[in-house]
Amino acid sequence: MSEQIFLQLAIILGIAFFVAYIIRLLKQPLIIGYIVAGIIVSSFLISFGATNDIINTFSKIGIAFLLFMVGLHLNPKVIKGVGIQSLLIGLAQVILTFALAFIVSLKLLKFDIIISLYVGIAIAFSSTIIIMKLLSDKRQLDSLSSKMSIGILIVQDLIAILVLILISTMNFSQGFAGFGSLAIKTFLIGIGLVLGLFLFGFFVLLRVVKRVAHSQELLFLFSICWAFLASALFAFFGFSIEIGALLAGMVLSVSPYSTEISSKIKPLRDFFLIIFFIILGLNLDISNVGAVVVDALILSAIVLFFKPIILMIFMALFNYTKRTSFLVSTSLAQISEFSLIILILGVSLGHISSEILSTLTLTLIITIIGSTYMIIYSREFYQRFSKVLSFFWRKDGKENKKFLKRKYDAILFGYNRTGFEVLRALTKLKKHYLVVDFNPDTISTLNKFRIPSLYGDAEDLEFLNELKLDKIDLAISTIPDYETNLLLIESIRLVNPNAIIIVRAENINETLEFYKKGADYVLTLHFVGGEHIAKMIKNIKTNKNEYKKEKEKHLKRIKEILKRQ
């Protein structure tokens, strides 16, 4: 029996590797590869006469680890910093998307009320894992659109926690009257468990973590032990293990070692998650795809088109630009892994059938593929649909118009550690300059120091056309993004052949391309850093006192930078 289990796992993981490798070449999330692998091996497992008990257990462990990791990143400080706009937009999006999916499921797809409720819930949430991974790969986590997306995702995660608690104790076999009889009891037990868990974490757990953190092995073992204990506790009181794992992570999120714990558990979580997503593929019966594909396409249309439209409408009401609205909306156009966890819980409780799970699994695959391409090629999509999206665009406010009307000698795109030094130089030269940055926090800080600054995205061609680039003498970009700098060079050279253009490159190939397009100088931080150290070694050799002076200068500059953050 044990040899059979090992053989099953070997074949499943082998197929998952090859499928995932192909999916990777297509620039799709590996999650899709794992699900497709599950679909492929499902017929093999059936013909092999295998049981799914062991693999199902692994998938449950994977879900617990996933939610534990999500909880580790739901620090109360992060939740507090979401902002009222993200909160309101997130709530509005979840409510309206749920309502739309519920009505479509009930009236058009002819599902019953309970199934329609599950479908509405599943469609309302977006994938934190997919979005964070893609935005991180594009190095756009600090942009306004990314911060809004992350804020909305946090709101969705908090709502999902409440949904999981509710569903795990619902008794639909008795109709909605079952909810009324259990509501008070469920609420009291749930609140008591949550409060007890957080009080225990604050007064006892954090002290224990501080002690065991001296040993990496003990910290790793203790974290896993805590996750399983909390999951078992919630399961004992009639809640799902998923809730226990999620709250266990949230309790540890306030620990200074939460990042370290997350990095330690990640490889283990990834293995069990592979099994989890393969199980989803197993649940998608190929022979039954024809029966669910139409429903999946209809639900995918809601996710890929109507969910972004709902988000853009509400972002327009809060006076966001059409580009920011577009980037936020398209990034959230997929179904969440949270949704599938809720659906699997619904199947295990007998609330919905496995056919509904197959329908939503196929919807997940379609929407993740679609949204991934929309995120990766967001610039091209925006330029193509920019005119159509004019409804969601607001004109620049009076403050922006004040800056746009002025003539500048120099414009600095991107205020960061490099930009700080550039700004010092521009000030000494007494140049009439403007700082442009797409991080609203940076603009807010610069305004406090009365530095001429303007919120804007250098990748937005309409915004660049308003900057009067034909009048400037100098343009400097410390932005690390290749496509943004390429657009800057081309836009400036088109209207101002004599301007000096300095941009930043991440590698030699980018440097050569920028020079070819017309850059006057390309900043390559690795080479500049190496040259600086080489000059120090050449000039002061091994004189420790001179290095001490250089250290003091460096610390002084760092402190100046920190004052402006």
Look over the chain and give the mean of its residue pLDDT values, rounded to a whole number: 79
> What's residue 544's pLDDT?
79
pLDDT digits (tens, 9 = 90+) for 218-235: 888 888 899 889 888 888
Backbone φ, ψ for residue 501 (5° rounding) = -120, 125
Long-range contacts of 79-87 (CB under 8 A, 24+ apart): 79/154, 79/158, 82/151, 82/154, 82/155, 83/151, 85/148, 85/151, 85/318, 86/148, 86/151, 86/152, 86/154, 86/155, 87/151, 87/155
Please answer whether residues 392 and 145 qualify as being in contact, where contact means their C-beta atoms are separated by less than 8 angstroms: no
pLDDT digits (tens, 9 = 90+) for 25-59: 877 767 777 777 777 776 565 555 555 566 667 76
pLDDT digits (tens, 9 = 90+) for 355-379: 888 888 889 888 888 888 888 787 7
Residue 549: pLDDT over 60: yes
> What's residue 377's pLDDT?
80
> What's residue 71's pLDDT?
78
Per-residue CA distances from 124 to 95, 114, 118, 274, 344 (Å): 8, 16, 10, 24, 16
**For residue 30, what are the contacts with CB-CB under 8 A and spacing of at least 6?**
20, 23, 24
How, if at all, do strands 500-505 and 521-524 pair? parallel
- Least confident range of 285-289, 318-322, 379-383: 285-289
> What's residue 507's pLDDT?
81
DSSP letter, residue 287? G
> What's residue 307's pLDDT?
93
Determine the average pLDDT of the residues in 393-418: 67
Residue 288: pLDDT over 70: no
Per-residue CA distances from 156 to 107, 132, 338 (Å): 26, 14, 10
**Nearest Cα residue to 311 out of 297, 324, 296:** 324
Long-range contacts of 107-116 (CB under 8 A, 24+ apart): 108/298, 109/295, 109/298, 111/356, 114/172, 114/351, 114/352, 115/352, 115/353, 115/356
- Nearest-angstrom CA–CA distance, 205 and 227: 12
pLDDT digits (tens, 9 = 90+) for 466-494: 888 888 989 999 888 788 899 899 999 99
> What's residue 180's pLDDT?
52
Q: List, in sequence order, every residue forming a beta bridge with 454; answer none if it has no partner.
A: 436
Determine the average pLDDT of the residues in 132-157: 74
pLDDT digits (tens, 9 = 90+) for 453-471: 887 778 777 778 888 888 8
Residues, the chain, total?
565
> What's residue 399's pLDDT?
45
User: CA neighbours within 13 Å on the CB side: how many for 404?
Assistant: 15
Report the share of the chain in percent with pLDDT over 90: 14
> What's residue 178's pLDDT?
47
Please answer whether residues 437 and 415 qualify as being in contact, where contact means their C-beta atoms are separated by less than 8 angstroms: yes
Coil/strand/helix, residue 472? coil
> What's residue 52's pLDDT?
59
- Nearest-angstrom CA–CA distance, 136 and 369: 18
Tokens of 67: 């939610």
- Nearest-angstrom CA–CA distance, 100 and 304: 13
Determine the average pLDDT of the residues in 77-81: 60
